[in-house]
Chains A and B, each alone.
Chain A
Amino acid sequence: KAGVTQTPRYLIKTRGQQVTLSCSPISGHRSVSWYQQTPGQGLQFLFEYFSETQRNKGNFPGRFSGRQFSNSRSEMNVSTLELGDSALYLCASSPEGVGNEQFFGPGTRLTVL
């Protein structure tokens, strides 16, 4: 099975712009979670989608949003970018039901100038 894929892998934006990141989960996985990883804060949960519905949300401002499509692919959007949004954005997928493992994608490295 192919792993979780994320596009793009690297992105450079300027303050005030918006960005959309994409995640394709492992085939058959319906849960997709998004995390932000920074050196100072570590891995922080953004949100989780299951069958096109947001099931959980972390403590991030409304500038961070996401959605999931019927094929389980997910996108996250960050509007009005700030310097502090520079981070590695990781997507993880899990199988249907109560799975014990999340499979992470390689991440998208976002740099905001």
Chain B
Amino acid sequence: GQNIDQPTEMTATEGAIVQINCTYQTSGFNGLFWYQQHAGEAPTFLSYNVLDGLEEKGRFSSFLSRSKGYSYLLLKELQMKDSASYLCAVRSTWGDYKLSFGAGTTVTVRA
């Protein structure tokens, strides 16, 4: 089975840094995705990790440790528009588009 855990909610101040953790226990592993979903909108792709280490994309970075079944998404220089739900998803099989999603972390950015 697939078990993907992430915190339900996080609150941070504009300009600050927030780290969203994701732990997973899945029957296989071939990549971890982070998606951002604003209320009432479709999820949009943020990052993809398949090897251990840090991937940086502007203000967003994602880290993966396969041995620990652990990933985090780091949001730097928070802006009000970053208030959204952040979804961690795992692909179990290479070439497979079946993703298992965590429940999502709602991030609220306060002025």
Contact = CB atoms under 8 A, between A and B. Distances in A.
A42 B101 contact: yes
Nearest to A107: B42
Contacts, number: 58
Given A42-B103, A42-B104, A101-B48, A106 B98 contact: no
Interface of B is mostly: loop
B94 A98 contact: yes
Contacts of A45: 98-101
Q: Which range contains the number of B residues in contact with the other chain? A: 20 to 34
B97 A106 contact: no
B43 A33 contact: no
Given A42-B104, A98-B94, A100-B31, A105 B99 contact: no
Contacts of B94: 98
B97 A56 contact: yes
Contacts of A42: 87, 101-104
A56 B98 CA distance: 7
Interface string B44-72: 11001000000000000000000000000
Given A43-B89, A103-B45, 20 more contacts: A4-B42, A33-B98, A35-B101, A42-B87, A42-B102, A43-B87, A43-B104, A45-B100, A48-B97, A50-B97, A56-B97, A90-B42, A98-B95, A100-B48, A101-B48, A102-B45, A102-B97, A104-B43, A105-B42, A106-B41
